Amino acid sequence: MPPAAYPGLVTAASNAPRPPGPGRAAAFFDLDKTIIARSSTLAFARPFLAGGLITRRAVVRNAYAHFLYQVGGADHDQMERMREYLSRLVAGWDVQQVRDIVAETLHELIVPVVYREATALIEQHHAAGQDVVIVSSSGAEVVEPIGAMLGADHVVATRMVVADGAYTGEIAFYAYAENKAAAIRELAGRHGYDLAASFAYSDSATDLPLLEAVGHPFAVNPDRALRKEAVARDWPVLDFTQPVRLRERLPQVNAPSRPVALTVAAVAGGATAAGVAYLAVRRHSQRMV
């Protein structure tokens, strides 16, 4: 398989049968609050504190911000400010240290909170011979291992520039809003997906470009703005309520039959966690003034 042409894209070989030729459908999944019941990046605040990458104050902010995120999500302005914040925060962080921390804590933090309904959908799409793609604004080193556990065929995630083994603070690709739609269109061109026949699942109104790019959009645990759009456009609304340990759903989670071939990851999940935490608390405090 040729190298990925689109920044942020990770491809994987698959053992499942595929319909021959172009025109086949694919299924595109957001990650946070769509496949898992929490923010994948906010989950890593404590391990990054233990690793000396963020401060105890940031962890306290993270706990409160996670509550706000679960209740209301993150809107466009907050995501844009977060991007600027994390760029400054991660500059100089050691990439291998970030990868090691994520690898050591992934199963403890993420595996228990995967939605049963999401894994069932993934299995159904694979059984129908359709590729499954995770498209997330979270960092690549967080999203890629989760994709490997779930048997995703491709992963699109945020990446940052790396030089001499450390983050420079520059963002190479921000997997957000219209960038997600552009990424899946490029992926469709490379793999022959018929987007009109394809499916997309997300919880956030910031993913409207992604949902609009396919013929079968689904709002999953939608925020208020997306729920309003889904009702207006007659899109199906799915409520996932059953987080379940991934091993109970996929017994061979440590040796998935559809492994994702990981490439060099770039954005720091802990940095995004701290960024979201800081901005969510700040925004909420300003509202109360």
Residues forming the active site: 30, 32
Q: Which helix (H) or strand (E) holds 36?
A: none
- Size of the chain, expressed as the number of residues it contains: 289
CB contact at 8 A, 36 and 115: yes
CB contact at 8 A, 267 and 158: yes
Q: Which helix (H) or strand (E) holds 116?
A: helix 116-127
Instruction: List beta partners, residue 26.
Output: 131
Nearest to 260 by CA among 171, 174, 141: 141
DSSP 112: G
CB contact at 8 A, 90 and 160: yes
Q: Which helix (H) or strand (E) holds 76?
A: helix 76-90
